[in-house]
Amino acid sequence: MMDLDMDADFDRPSNPLDLFERLAALNDWTFDRDSDDELSVSVTGGWSEYHVAITWLAEVEALHIACAFDLKVPERRRGEVLQLVGLVNEQLWLGHFDLWSSEGVVMYRHALLLSGGAEATDEQAAALIKSAIDACERYYQAFQFVVWAGKTAKEGLEGAMLETAGEA
């Protein structure tokens, strides 16, 4: 492992989570500031209520976002869901999905590195949350198809990739 000497200690003028708390308040999202380093936000999407956790990781100077939806994966479907996670992750440019094994929950994760005392902008905070919600909205049905309809990972992904025109 590479050993880099980085003795600089940066004082941040504000807590990076303050941006996300303001964003949640402006959008009338329910939120809770669990600690100085963690914020929980609930966002209603088209398919589900999304549970977003934003964590400031001071030791690596990064904002981590984790977005989960209400879908508990039964043990018997976890292998197929893991295959789906791999297929979905091949489609993503930002972030990735995981299956949180201890909870059996599918989760989108991403991070914003703020090394050297960099400050996140309002636009970056909004983009981080938007990319998480958009990814969950885009692939929610694929996970539903695999978990509840017994579809294969490939079938689940194909079903989610269909573009619909108009509204019924």
62-105: pLDDT as tens digits? 999 999 988 999 999 999 999 999 999 999 999 999 999 888 99
23-54: pLDDT as tens digits? 999 999 999 998 999 999 999 999 999 999 99
> Based on the number of CB atoms within 10 Å of its own CB, is 92 exposed (0-12), middle (13-18) or buried (19 or more)?
middle
120-138: pLDDT as tens digits? 999 999 999 999 999 999 9
**Whole-model pTM?**
0.86
Query: Closest Cα partner for 138 from 71, 82, 88?
Result: 88
75, 80, 81, 86 alpha-carbon torsion, rounded to 10°: 140
